[in-house]
Amino acid sequence: MVAIAKQSFGLLCALLVAGEARSAPYKPLPGEPPRTAVDHDPPGRTGLPYARDRSFATLDEYLAFREKQGAIDLPWYREVSPGVYELQTRRLPPPEKTRFTRAELAAKFGFKE
């Protein structure tokens, strides 16, 4: 029983170390020049809600991604008329404002239209 506990503890420690290695920020090696945004950052807007560390070049690309995420009950925006979008959510009660113009969404998420 003690041997199993020691083995499990060792496996847990290995998983924790591996997880930290993946989430550590990039640090250049001694003598290596630092990377630039061109080297490793994808073009487009990053840090968006529900984006899962992805970047998006356009508002349309981001809204299409959010629509796909609606399949797993994440909020998304449905175009209800040209240039007018409605927030689709299962959250109760729904937010006060659920309709947005395209310009409002672009400003909200930092896209240039």
Q: Answer whether residue 73 is part of any domain.
A: yes
Please give the Cα distance from 12 to 103 (Å, whole number): 49
Q: Any idea of the CA torsion for 20, 109, 55, 82, to the nearest 10 degrees?
A: 140
Q: Answer whether residue 89 is part of any domain.
A: yes
Q: Answer whether residue 94 is part of any domain.
A: yes
90 compared with 78, residue with greater pLDDT: 78
Q: Which of 51, 95, 55 is nearest to 69 (CA)?
A: 51
Whether residue 97 is predicted with pLDDT greater than 60 in this model: the reply is: yes
Model confidence at 35, pLDDT cuts 50, 70, 90, reads low
For residue 86, give both structure tokens: 């409605």
Whether residue 71 is predicted with pLDDT greater than 80 in this model: the reply is: yes
Q: Answer whether residue 26 is part of any domain.
A: no
Q: How high is the mean pLDDT of the chain?
A: 78
pLDDT at 110: 96
Counting residues of the chain whose pLDDT is more than 70, the rounded percentage is: 64
- In Å, how far from its chain's centre is CA 59? 14
Q: Answer whether residue 95 is part of any domain.
A: yes
Whether residue 8 is predicted with pLDDT greater than 80 in this model: the reply is: no
Owning domain of residue 102: 42-109
Strand, coil or helix: what is 84? strand
Q: Answer whether residue 22 is part of any domain.
A: no
Q: Answer whether residue 57 is part of any domain.
A: yes
Q: Answer whether residue 31 is part of any domain.
A: no
Strand, coil or helix: what is 80? strand
